[in-house]
Amino acid sequence: MQLSEQEIQRRKEREELMKLGIDPYPAALFEVNVSARDIKENYERRKTDYKSVSIAGRLMSRRIMGSASFAEIQDSTGRIQIYLRRDDLCPGDDKSLYNDIFKKRLDIGDIIGIQGYVFTTQMGEISIHVQELTLLSKSLHPLPIVKETEDEKGQKKTYDAFSDPEQRYRQRYLDLIVNPKVKETFKMRTQLINTLRDFFNSKGYLEVETPILQPIHGGAAARPFETHHNTLNMKLYLRIANELYLKRLIVGGFDGVYEFAKDFRNEGMSRFHNPEFTQVELYVAYKDYFWMMDFMEEAVEKVALSLHGDTKVKVGENTIEFQRPWKRFTMFEAIEHFTGIDISKMDEEQLKKVCKDLKVDIDDSMGKGKLIDEIFGEKCEPHLIQPTFIMDYPVEMSPLTKKHRSEEGLVERFEVICNGKEIMNAYSELNDPIDQRERFEEQLELAKRGDEEAMALDEDFLRALEYGMPPTSGVGIGIDRLAMIMTNSNSIQDVLFFPQMRPEKKPVVASESDYVEVGVRKELIPILQKLGFNSIKQLKEANVNKLFNDVCGMRKKLKLDIQNPTKEEVESWLE
């Protein structure tokens, strides 16, 4: 691999430190008794408490002025300025710790530990006067340097921002180091999950774990990932939902169960979709979907308050108000509201005409339910910014949902739409085993017609229902999407530490022995690599005269103290 000049430099510094008897990666613990945030928040009020501090972090900037220097270190709570003076750091005659170690062999990105006392500079910045300095980890890879200034109005201006999305997601650790806001986003995501978990626990619902590897994938309409178990010699699927397992637990006698579940769907990727995503599914016995609406309003309102101290959350251009109660529409009402058309009594032919009039794309395979869903998705969903319950879906779309208590052809299902996207999906769960079997069979028909997302029939699940499941309401909350809204993130990739990416394309590079094999002297290999001959095939195709000239020229340029090859030698490589 070709190293950049700066990487070579840092490797050299590592060696030199070792020769000076300084371990660049010491084994011993480093005692930390304070954090950057702690100092900044409390020093002014309790100055005497900060006369002897010990803190560790990453060196993020340096301003060297002869025998004194300012630098910044960053720990998990933020940055703080440190001040180093040669004669304080090196009280004796030996000034090498400052002159040679700090100034020459430490770099931005290195992790250091310091001991000293807190003071305020003439410019008014709380800083640490360093009395002892310990290298804790040498960094060999230069860090992107992001700088920030603040004008009189407190407006922040960022220079050389590390903003390339590909690099940020592939090397999230770098993103976290140099973009402090990223850390905040992920802390909020965790707090969101904790808030929901605490709320569910406070009601006595049990957090459970169910299989991720499932012989039959069920609970949602989606294409699964397949895998294979060797000992059982059988096909397994990565779960697309955990619904059918959680309902089995309700059959088993729990009143409420929930699971924060990673689910996997083998479908397209976009700023709203990642192949693996998180949803929490919750099932509560003896409840219906009206109860669940109230419960969800309360849950999400709690999340907003916990994260923002307010029920209002700014998302892009909009301010979203999560305060209860939220608007409630039946699907028919929503469609009438946005299009002015009452479709509640229409048959399939009439619906098709409506779609045509509204310029909603349809195809012949679509039944009544699908047509209604298309109209809703096209004409209503994007306009629903404030959290809104959409209730009572067509039965065709919801094979696991109980039929509506009074409306023919509908089911007791709601979704919550917020910021133009679905964030929640809930039902009064279907618990009539005969009805459930018929619905599964309808799905099988769809599958025969080529619907790859149709649900499979799960005999054991049906057997469980036949023993009797109490009336139950269940919900699935899209954690990633809720996190996007709560953290004002434009893309799902911004709320996942490691979003799925295409594999990094690495050029195929010939190994040292490949070069040696065709007769290249070891010391000449870097020259060939520098010239761009990264594979033997490339080398074989080269022109002898040009190659000979280039190699000698590059040797001179790199100022390598080695013997140039002869023309005959170069010729021999290409044979």
Partner RNA sequence: GAUCGCUUAGCUCAGCUGGUAGAGCAAUUGACUUUUAAUCAAUAGGUCCAGGGUUCGAAUCCCUGAGCGAUCACCA
The residues in 526-565 that bind RNA, with binding defined as CB under 7 A, are: 532, 534, 557
Amino acid at 403: K
Strand partners, 260: 280
Q: How many CA atoms lie within 13 A of 114 on its CB side?
A: 30
Nearest residue (CB) to RNA, 273 versus 328: 273
- Closest approach of Cβ 462 to RNA, in Å? 22
The reply to whether 357 sits near RNA by the rule CB under 7 A is no
- Closest approach of Cβ 46 to RNA, in Å? 21
The reply to whether 16 sits near RNA by the rule CB under 7 A is no
Identify residues 137-156 at the interface with RNA (CB under 7 A).
142, 144-145, 147-150
Q: What is the 3-state secondary structure (H, E, C) of 533-567?
A: CCCHHHHHCCCHHHHHHHHHHHHHHCCCCCCCCCH
**Cα–Cα distance measured from residue 239 to residue 458, given in angstroms and rounded to the nearest whole number:** 14
Nearest residue (CB) to RNA, 5 versus 317: 5
Nearest residue (CB) to RNA, 159 versus 173: 159
* Region near RNA per CB under 7 A, out of 20-28, 165-173, 431-439, 563-571: 165-173
Question: Residues 265-294: x/- map of binding to RNA (CB under 7 A)?
Answer: x-xx-xxxxxx-x-----------------
Question: Among residues 527, 523, 525, which one has the least CA distance to residue 563?
Answer: 523
- Closest approach of Cβ 187 to RNA, in Å? 21
Binding RNA (rule: CB under 7 A), the pick from 1, 29, 65, 508 is: 65
Look up residue 323 and give its two tokens. Answer: 């305060």
Identify residues 193-232 at the interface with RNA (CB under 7 A).
220-222
Cα dihedral 120, 126, 132, 138 in deg (nearest 10): -150
Nearest residue (CB) to RNA, 37 versus 273: 273
Q: How many CA atoms lie within 13 A of 135 on its CB side?
A: 24
Nearest residue (CB) to RNA, 361 versus 364: 361
**Cα–Cα distance measured from residue 187 to residue 483, given in angstroms and rounded to the nearest whole number:** 11
- Closest approach of Cβ 25 to RNA, in Å? 19
Identify residues 291-350 at the interface with RNA (CB under 7 A).
none
The reply to whether 179 sits near RNA by the rule CB under 7 A is no
Q: Is residue 80 within 8 Å of residue 94, measured between CB atoms?
A: no
* Region near RNA per CB under 7 A, out of 45-53, 57-65, 332-340, 346-354: 57-65
The footprint of RNA on this chain (CB under 7 A) covers a number of residues equal to 80
Helix, strand, coil percentages in the chain from 3-state DSSP, rounded to 5: 40, 25, 35
Strand partners, 130: 116
* Region near RNA per CB under 7 A, out of 4-12, 131-139, 198-206, 290-298: 4-12
- Closest approach of Cβ 160 to RNA, in Å? 4
- Closest approach of Cβ 220 to RNA, in Å? 6
Nearest residue (CB) to RNA, 241 versus 257: 241
Nearest residue (CB) to RNA, 448 versus 559: 559
- Closest approach of Cβ 463 to RNA, in Å? 26
The reply to whether 121 sits near RNA by the rule CB under 7 A is yes
- Closest approach of Cβ 293 to RNA, in Å? 18
∠ at Cα 120 (119, 121), nearest 5°?
Answer: 120
Identify residues 436-455 at the interface with RNA (CB under 7 A).
453
**Cα–Cα distance measured from residue 522 to residue 513, given in angstroms and rounded to the nearest whole number:** 9
Look up residue 291 and give its two tokens. Answer: 């109860």
Identify residues 472-501 at the interface with RNA (CB under 7 A).
478, 480-481, 490-493, 501
**Cα–Cα distance measured from residue 509 to residue 528, given in angstroms and rounded to the nearest whole number:** 12
The reply to whether 173 sits near RNA by the rule CB under 7 A is no
- Closest approach of Cβ 448 to RNA, in Å? 19
Identify residues 403-432 at the interface with RNA (CB under 7 A).
421-423, 425
Residue by residue, DSSP assigns 132-165 as EEEEEE---SPPP--EEEE-TT--EEEES----H
**Cα–Cα distance measured from residue 165 to residue 493, given in angstroms and rounded to the nearest whole number:** 9
Question: Among residues 163, 167, 265, which one has the least CA distance to residue 220?
Answer: 265
Question: Among residues 77, 81, 97, 79, which one has the least CA distance to residue 89?
Answer: 97
**Cα–Cα distance measured from residue 351 to residue 332, given in angstroms and rounded to the nearest whole number:** 12
Nearest residue (CB) to RNA, 108 versus 574: 108
Question: Residues 363-402: x/- map of binding to RNA (CB under 7 A)?
Answer: -----------x--xx------------------------
